[in-house]
């Protein structure tokens, strides 16, 4: 397994309280994944609007492009018995619910692991969330194609925004 990979990580039901509200992002992606690329490209900066449900057990985060088209829906579900989060992404092009990543926060850093397929290749996946302060957060995605090393391939710097201004679709 790649370093740190574990499906046993736990957290608390308030781990994603910080995410509620509106955010803008600056995103970067590796130009090519799984080939040793070091060339990063800026990705479209999205708007993220998140709401909590069930007293914080569930957070739903909808992502929009600058043109206000939906780019995805993220679901964060907390299992009270396991004390573990399951993170899902719903692709707006297919409506498919992606494979879950599981884990939790230790302090201001959350790590979540799972398995997926990237262009037909099975990969181990790691999401890392960092709560920087009340108005800033960082998310990153890393894949392990070889089961030994991680390649960070996507990052997003989150900056808090005004919900009324950015979460109202026209």
pLDDT at 170: 52
Q: What's the pLDDT at 161?
A: 95
DSSP secondary structure of 115-147: EEEETTEEEEEEEEEEEEETTEEEEEEEEESSS
Which residue has 């925004």 as its token pair? 161
Name the domain count of the chain: 1
In a domain, 146, yes or no: yes
Flag whether pLDDT at 80 surpasses 60.
yes
Under the banding of pLDDT at 50, 70 and 90, the label for residue 76 is very high
pTM for the model stands at 0.93
Model pLDDT for residues 28-75, shown as the tens digit of each residue: 999 999 998 999 999 878 899 999 999 999 999 999 887 778 888 999
Cα-Cα end-to-end distance for the chain = 46
Quick check: is 29 in a domain? yes
> Is residue 151 domain-resident?
yes
Residue 71's pLDDT is what?
84
Give the separation between CA 162 and CA 68, rounded to whole angstroms. 15
Between residues 97 and 68, the one the model is more confident about: 97
pLDDT at residue 158 in the model: 97
Residue predicted with more confidence, 12 or 165:
12
Q: What is the pLDDT of residues 114-130, one digit of tens each?
A: 999 999 999 999 999 99
- Are residues 109 and 3 in contact, defined by beta-carbon separation less than 8 angstroms? no
In a domain, 7, yes or no: no
Residue span of the structural domain in which 98 resides: 17-166
As a whole number, mean pLDDT of residues 78-82 equals 97
Residue 9 resides in a domain: no
CATH, residue 59: 2.40.128.20
Is 8 part of a structural domain of the chain?
no
């Amino acid at each position: 397994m790649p370093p740190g990979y574990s499906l046993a990580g736990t957290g608390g039901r308030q781990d994603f309280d910080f995410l509620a509200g509106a955010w803008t992002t600056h995103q970067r992606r590796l130009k090519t994944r799984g080939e040793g690329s070091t060339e990063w490209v800026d990705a479209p900066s999205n708007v993220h609007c998140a709401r909590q449900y069930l007293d914080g057990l569930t957070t739903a985060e909808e992502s929009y492009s600058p043109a206000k088209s939906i780019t995805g829906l993220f679901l964060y579900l907390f299992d009270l018995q396991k004390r573990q989060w399951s993170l899902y992404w719903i692709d707006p092009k297919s409506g498919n619910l992606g494979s879950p990543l599981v884990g939790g926060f230790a302090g201001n850093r959350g790590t979540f692991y799972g398995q997926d397929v990237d262009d037909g290749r099975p990969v181990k996946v790691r999401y890392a969330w960092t709560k920087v302060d009340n108005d800033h957060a960082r998310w990153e995605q890393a894949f392990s194609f070889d089961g030994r090393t991680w390649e960070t391939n996507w990052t997003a710097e989150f900056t808090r925004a005004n919900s009324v201004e950015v979460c109202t679709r026209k």
